[in-house]
Amino acid sequence: MKLYPYLRSRTTFCLTCCLLITSQLAWSQVFQRGGTFTLVAQNAPDNFTSTFSISSSPITISADNGKLQITESIHAISLNSEWLVLDIETTNGGPLAGDPTQRWSYDLFYPFQQTAFVDEVAGYWSFNEQAYSPITPFGTGFLASTAPNPLDPSLGPVFDVMHNPPAGPYPPFSFRHGSVILSPYNILANGGVNPSQANGFHYLVHAFSAAVPELNGAAALLATLGLGGLLSRLRRKSHRPRPPRLYR
């Protein structure tokens, strides 16, 4: 039985929506894979610059002449938003600062694959991979507030800032500069962290693409179920007997 014209048009519309959802599921790279991540450190524990390529799979590199181990990972949250996480730990278990009475800083430069906005930055210090808890807001930027870990609350609290409105836009293949500065480093004690003990620092940045409207997993599921229901109704309509034509 042939479909009525309006059924054909609606079927085409539904199929188009399905294809759009499928294409969005595959289009989730916000941070540039293969792009260069640059870390410039001062007194952390030495002064050095380290570069490495961003990868979808976690990668670990050695830095500061083997004194640090740095792991980079990306966590996709929705169709067009991701967390970029940098875990920095000393290899000998010693403190992160070479001299806690001096300025300590990390400058981070990371690239985007497409036009993007940054709406949240977080960070926390750890000792032997355990986050300090409780912690107290201090300083400026993301150090001025605290929140549960946005990726895994069971890991403990983090220093966190929400950008409202989001920072950006950052054009495709451009870099964003983030920084963490403590001067002197031992003011970290005001936040509930032991500066002479902490041997790990963890930096998290959340970005989303402006090219694709953000659609989380629940919304995608609802959209799929809705399309399935609409197609089912259209199929039932297509099997209804056509009314007899009246001729005058």
Q: 162-182: per-residue pLDDT in tens?
A: 988 999 999 999 999 999 999
Percent of residues, the chain, with pLDDT higher than 70: 73
So what's the pLDDT on residue 120?
96
The band of 1, judged by pLDDT with boundaries at 50, 70 and 90, is very low
Mean local confidence (pLDDT), 110-121 = 96
Residue 160: count other Cβ atoms within 10 Å of its Cβ: 21
DSSP 236: H
Whether the predicted pLDDT of 109 surpasses 50: yes
Comparison of pLDDT for 70 and 16, the residue scoring more = 70
User: 128-158 pLDDT, tens per residue?
Assistant: 999 999 999 998 888 999 999 999 999 999 9
DSSP 112: B
DSSP 44: S
With H, G, I as helix, E, B as strand and everything else as coil, classify residue 238.
helix
Distances from the Cα of 65 to the Cαs of 32, 47, 185, in angstroms?
A: 27, 11, 22
Min mean pLDDT across 19-28, 138-147, 227-236 is at 19-28
Mean local confidence (pLDDT), 38-66 = 96
Percent of residues, the chain, with pLDDT higher than 90: 69
Whether the predicted pLDDT of 216 surpasses 50: no
Q: Model's pTM, two decimal places?
A: 0.76
Choose from 12-21, 74-83, 225-234 the range with maximum mean pLDDT.
74-83
Phi, psi of 64 (to 5 degrees): 50, 50
